[in-house]
Amino acid sequence: MIAFTNAQIVISEIYGGGGNSGSTLKNDYIILKNIGSAPASLTGATLQYAPAAATFTQYHTLPNITLNPGQTYLIQEATGGGGTVDLPTPDFIATTVINFDGSPNPSVGIGIAVTSGKIVIANNTVQVTGPTNANVVDFVGYGTANQYEGPGPAPSPTTTTAIKRVSGDTNNNTVDFTVGAANPINSTGGTLAISDVDFNYSKFHFIENSFVKENEIIFGGEIKDIKIYNMFGQVVKVSPTKSAYSLDITELPKGNYIVTGTINNEPVSQKILKD
């Protein structure tokens, strides 16, 4: 059985780029959140997963939890095998994944597709077939998913971004979610900081004479293998060319970033501010 208080615990964030090429985070994750005004509990619930255009194929159980208003719950899922940064301490690490057809599933946690898929909180282990099933607590289809709450799916994220709930739950995936930088937050408010990124500044020299002008980083010389990290440690831009004297950052929001690259095979880095 399951005990919910007005279905207050919902899926707040989904990230499927963990361990993939271009991602610094090692694992996929799902964040649950109590969006209500009173404590809420989950008992006997499961997280079920389906590819974008297929049936729900697998699930794992959730522990019995109680979340206070506004509290989040970080669930660590599978890894693509790469990445350099661990998630902040997960509230739950998914291990055993069960296939509905009874076949073995060797995955440690659910392997979430990066750009499109379907994830549901169900109130039992019964296979979900659609968003209106009686056992559905919250249903999210994103990208090119063929099932979703409301008239359309949530937007499609990337290797470095997640789909994130805007605020409450209107049962409309299109308006309830947006795409933003992956930012795993556990139940104690723990999140990533730039210090979590695998930067060893003793190995770097600073980029000399570099500055930002009219949405462009101007370097003091030719730099190779340029990458830009946000302050959560995710790669947000990679230079489209092997080397460059400048890099357009028009699409990046205002804020602080770390730029890395190489000059004469020596690593260089610089903190920049886009205002």
Q: What is the 3-state secondary structure (H, E, C) of 227-266?
A: EEECCCCCEEEECCCCEEEEEECCCCCCEEEEEEEEECCE
**How would you classify the pairing of strands 161-165 and 9-15?**
antiparallel
Average pLDDT (57-74) is 94
Of 191, 210, 243, the residue that ends a domain is: 191
Tell me: do 162 and 202 sit in the same domain. no
Residue 244 structure tokens = 């460059």
Amino acid identity for residue 80 in this structure:
G
Q: 73-121 pLDDT, tens per residue?
A: 999 999 999 988 899 899 999 999 999 999 999 999 999 999 999 999 9
Residue 161 within a domain: yes
- Asked if the structure places residue 168 within a domain, the reply is yes
Same-domain check for residues 226 and 255 = yes
Residues 201 and 151 in one domain: no
Do residues 61 and 185 both lie within one domain?
yes
Mean of the pLDDT values across residues 197-214? 56
Domain that holds residue 118: 9-191
pLDDT band at 163 (very low <50, low <70, confident <90, very high): very high
Lowest mean pLDDT among 5-19, 21-35, 169-183, 223-237: 223-237
Which pLDDT tens digit goes with each residue over 169-205? 999 999 999 998 888 989 987 665 544 444 444 444 4
- With tokens 């999210």, the residue in question is 140
Average pLDDT value for the chain: 87
Q: Within this chain, do residues 246 and 165 fall inside the same structural domain, yes or no?
A: no
155 and 224 within one domain: no
Confidence (pLDDT) at 26: 93
CATH number at residue 232: 2.60.40.3080
Task: Answer with the one of 171, 191, 211 that is the final residue of a domain.
Answer: 191
User: Is 269 found in the same domain as 165?
Assistant: no
**Domain endpoint, select from 157, 191, 225:** 191
Q: Note whether 72 and 85 are same-domain residues.
A: yes
Q: Residue 214: pLDDT band by 50, 70, 90 thresholds? A: confident
Question: Residue 201: what pLDDT?
Answer: 42
Confidence of residue 7 (pLDDT cuts 50, 70, 90): low
Residue pointed to by tokens 């499927």:
16
Of 93-97, 138-142, 235-239, least confident by mean pLDDT is: 235-239
